[in-house]
Structure 1
Amino acid sequence: MIERYALPEMAVLWTPRAGLERWVAVESLVASVQAEHGVIPKEAAERIAATPAPEVEAVREEERTRDHEVLSFLAAWTAKMPEDTARWVHHGLTSYDLVDTGLGLVLRDATDLVIGAARELYDVVAGRALEEWDTLCVARTHGIHAEPIRFGHKLAVHAFAIERSLVRLGAARDSIAVGTVSGAVGTYASTGPDVEAEVLGRLGLAPEPAPTQVVARDRHAELVCALAVFGASVEHLALELRLLQRTEVAEVEEPRTERYQGSSAMPHKRNPTSSERLCGLARLLRANVGAALEDVALWHERDLAHSSVERVILPDSLHLAHYQAVAARDLVAGLRIDAERMRSALRSEGGRIFSSQAYLQLSHAGMEREEAYRAVQAAAQRSRRDGTTLAAELKQDGADLDEELLLTPSDLDAENVIRERLTARLAGADPARRVR
């Protein structure tokens, strides 16, 4: 991931140095457990654990002649050990016992970062929804004014979407927190399942129940899909805020610093760049889904077609989702809401946004449904054309209606059930662990 979208706490997990240190931790723990089981000498296991990770440059130098990353790592690392110790390193293991167990560790920890940031985003969006519950604005369908809605209701829609992603991410996190220490093709012929159970238990990973030579890649595809759905939900939120910042609407505005400059040529511009960025990054997350699904089907007990792909898409997807969660949290937390502009939009339609109330009143008064609909539709069209109010046009048609209901928002008390649901969720169980 390029530095621009790599937040430090995520980036540090994916450095080459961190990768080598994970491999050393796995190999050292395997040696320790094997020594406890009498497979290798205890003294050798102690010396293995005491040997620091090799330098990245040393491994890369070995790889120039070996063309095999794991063998290059082992050569660079064991070069620091006595020969009677080095021969017990990687005893009974295959390369992907090391690679996939290390991968399970970093995927677990990186997903935990995403979940933590997404939970903070959920709390902020839900909190702002409750804070702005009584702020009225006009809803829009197809981009056209519809009926009044609470701005808190708008935000609640996105809070619940983020909550659903937390559930998916929690499930994906458990699915990828898996390793394997099962030997060449997963038969335990050269290392026993008891060693695997102890190693993975101490690492906080689950075993692959039917290993081949690798951990099954449907697990990784599940994670990438969950990240992409989360990204799409962040995009949905960001797109709504982009649309509400258009000059013609201007009902909200992103937080700005005093140093903000929106255009190199037009000093007046205040562009929704934060929202736009979140929308753009969601495209990358979606693009990675296809590649992750392609990685699921491997030849027989394994091939290497997946390796080059997941070196890119796994860290990139986790970086992007983490960045999105943190950036969206800050965006919503600092969002400026122009309640007067929203009230102005409600008043701008001459009461036409209350057409459904007029339609229902006429129906209750005994007018046939289609006739009532057409009467209100015709009155609304004249109102728009002539700049009059809907109530005035209907009165001219002789409709005996409660004009007050055509000038103010309808009773939205029933909408409070959404607020109650949101309040209950915030006070309830951790959404990342809730089962649907």
Structure 2
Amino acid sequence: MIDRYSTPELRTLWSEASRYRAWLKVELAAMQAQAELGEVPAAAHAELVQKSEHDPLDEAFALRVAEIEAVTRHDIVAFTTALSERYGDAARFIHHGLTSTDVVDTAQNLLLDEALSLIMADVQALQEVCRSQAVAYKHTPTVGRTHGIHAEPMTFGLKFLNWMATLDRDLERLSAARARVRVVMMSGSVGTYAHVSPEVEEKVAAAWGWQVAPVTNQTLARDRHAEVLSAIAIFGTTLEKIAVEIRHLQRSEVREAMEPFGAGQKGSSSMPHKKNPILTENVTGLARLLRGYLVTALENVPLWHERDISHSSAERVILPDATQAASYAARRLTGVLRNLVVFPERMLKNMNDLGGLVFSQRVLHLLIDDKGMAREAAYAVVQRNALQSWETGEGLRDLLSRDPENPLDDSDLDRAFDLQWYLREVDHIFARFGL
């Protein structure tokens, strides 16, 4: 991922040096288990642990691996060769009985586990902002829109409450996906444990509090990674859903809420008056990337026979990029919602601009319930006057009051056009969330 759309933590996590440190963690964990089983010298393991702590793998090591790989054309061979150069003879017991994918896939799971933890923290931060704004605007009236058209009154806080609830489901999906990759695979070539005892894998998993992949071939099944990318892509759609709403509310014709606009910020190179929703448009674009990464992850699932490496090159791009883009987009949207500029007076004005049409269902029900009209007849009365209101701009209540077929009197119409009647259950909805 380019620096523009990455976060410092994930940029560091997916660096080459970090990847090699994860590889070494896997190698040392396997070596410790093998030492406990008497398969490799415990002293060699202790020496490597001491040396790696004193002289941790860094960018210089990553550069050396790249130099060796240019000759060997094999990254794990280059890695183990560079380890021997750096740490000496004890490194000869590294990678004993393992195959490359044992190390690469298990280490990649370590990185994914950390990346997903960071993303989940970002989701929680965004969720907390939604919670705060939901409470702040709990009783702020606004018009609900369906198909982009005024529907009925609601509150602005309900929008945030909906987003908060959606983010809770995103957290559940991300947590489940993280659990799916918290597995250790150390089964050797084609997964038969011919050269490494299953006890090694079990010991490592127990030490980390992870699970053992119960059966593998020579690679961890890629449906696990597809599930991760699916959870991230769905989270991306949540981000886009929120972003699109903010973009709509910022439109000149609506102007109910808008992104923060900083001092000195410029909206256009040619039109000085412009305040464009560039932050949320950016989130929308990143969400499209996240969905695209999922397609690639799904295509990585079917590999030839026990393995090929057609997934490898793709994963070197999609896993770092998807996790970084998701984290970046979440943080960007969190900032937008925390500093959102809201115009409650404009919300009321927009609601009233259609002359009370948003109260049509309440009128319909009063005609049916209180006046005993058949539904079809009541609907005809309300719709006829509503369509006339659309065409002439005259208020629906005024039209109804002059309609001889409408039996509702002024007190009935007061009840029908009561805004607070529509919002009377808002507290009940919020109470479901302890708010």
TM-score normalised to structure 1 length: 0.94
Equivalent in 58, 77, 93 of residue 64 of structure 2: 58
Q: Does 1:156 align with 2:167?
A: no
Residue 312 (structure 2) aligns with? 307
Identity %: 40
Alignment of 1:296 onto 2:301: yes
Q: C-alpha separation between the residues in 2 aligned to 1:202 and 1:262?
A: 54
The answer on 1:383 being equivalent to 2:389 is: yes
- Classify 1:368/1:89 alpha carbon distance in 2 versus 1 (closer, same or farther; 3 Å): same
Partner Cα separation in structure 2 for residue 238 and residue 86 of structure 1: 51
Matched, 1:68 2:74: yes
Question: How many angstroms apart in 2 are the aligned matches of 1:321 and 1:183?
Answer: 34
Q: Distance in 1 between matches of 2:14 and 2:100?
A: 19
Q: 1:82 to 1:230 in 2, by over 3 A?
A: closer
C-alpha separation between the residues in 1 aligned to 2:172 and 2:72?
44
User: Which position in structure 2 is the counterpart of 1:394?
Assistant: 400
Shift of 1:32: 2.4
* Greater alpha carbon shift after TM alignment, 383-392 vs 265-274: 383-392
Are 2:104 and 1:99 aligned? yes
Deviation of 1:27 after TM superposition, in Å, equals 1.4
**What letter matches 1:9 in structure 2?**
E
Q: 2:148 aligns with which of 129, 143, 150?
A: 143
Letter matched to residue 413 of structure 2: E
SS of 1:139 mapped into structure 2:
strand
Q: Is the 8 A contact 1:31 1:48 kept in 2?
A: no
Q: Would you say the 8 A contact 2:184–2:204 is kept in 1?
A: no
Residue pairs, 1:233-272, within 5 angstroms: 233-272=238-277
Superposition deviation, residue 410 in structure 1: 4.8
2:432 corresponds in structure 1 to 421
1:63-212 equivalence runs, <5 A: 63-83=69-89, 85-212=90-217
Distance 1:423 1:275 in 2: 29
Establish whether residue 340 from structure 1 lines up as the match of residue 358 from structure 2. Answer: no
Question: Which secondary structure does the structure 2 equivalent of 1:349 belong to?
Answer: coil
Unaligned runs of 5+ in 1: 425-436
List 4+ stretches of structure 1 deviating above 4 A.
none
* Counterpart residue number, 1:408: 418
* Further displaced range: 190-199 or 113-122: 190-199
Q: Is 2:30 the partner of 1:23?
A: no
Paired amino acid for 2:296: A
| Residue 41 of structure 1 pairs with residue 47 of structure 2 | no
42-51 vs 204-213, greater mean Cα deviation = 42-51
3-state DSSP of counterpart to 2:419: coil
Give 1:133 shift: 0.6
- Give the letter for the 1:21 counterpart: R
Note closer, same or farther for the CA distance 1:9–1:80 as it changes in structure 2 (3 Å cut).
closer
SS in 1 for 2:150: strand
How many Å apart are 1:190 and its aligned residue? 1.1
Q: Aligned-pair distance for 1:406? A: 4.3
Supply the AA of the counterpart residue of 1:28. Answer: L
Q: Which moved more, 1:149-158 or 1:44-53?
A: 44-53
Contact 1:391 / 1:406 at 8 angstroms: preserved in 2?
A: no
Q: Deviations over 1:193-230 (max 9, x none)?
A: 21111223323432111122111111100000000001
Give 5+ residue unaligned stretches, structure 2. Answer: none
Deviations 1:219-242 (A, max 9, x none): 100000000001001111111111
CA drift of 1:173 comes to: 0.7
Report the 3-state secondary structure (helix = DSSP H, G, I; strand = E; otherwise coil) of the residue aligned with 2:86: coil
Question: Secondary structure in 1 aligned to 2:252?
Answer: coil
The whole-number CA distance in structure 2 between the counterparts of 1:78 and 1:157 is 55
Would you say the 8 A contact 2:133–2:160 is kept in 1? yes
Q: 2 CA distance for matches of 1:270 and 1:210?
A: 56
Deviation at 1:371, TM superposition (A): 1.7
Deviation per residue, 1:302-339 (Å, 9 max, x gap): 11111111111111111111112211111111111111
Query: In the alignment, residue 55 of structure 1 is paired with which amino acid?
Result: F
Asked if structure 2 preserves the Cα contact closer than 8 Å seen for 1:105 and 1:205, the reply is: no
- Contact kept, 8 Å, 1:104 with 1:205, in 2: the verdict is no
Name the TM-score, length of structure 2 as normaliser: 0.94
Alignment: residue pair count: 423
**1:355–1:82 Cα change, 3 Å:** closer
Measured in 1, the distance between the counterparts of 2:372 and 2:4 equals 64
Secondary structure of 1:40's partner? Answer: coil
Other structure's SS at 1:146 match: strand
CA distance in 2 between partners of 1:405 and 1:12 (Å): 61
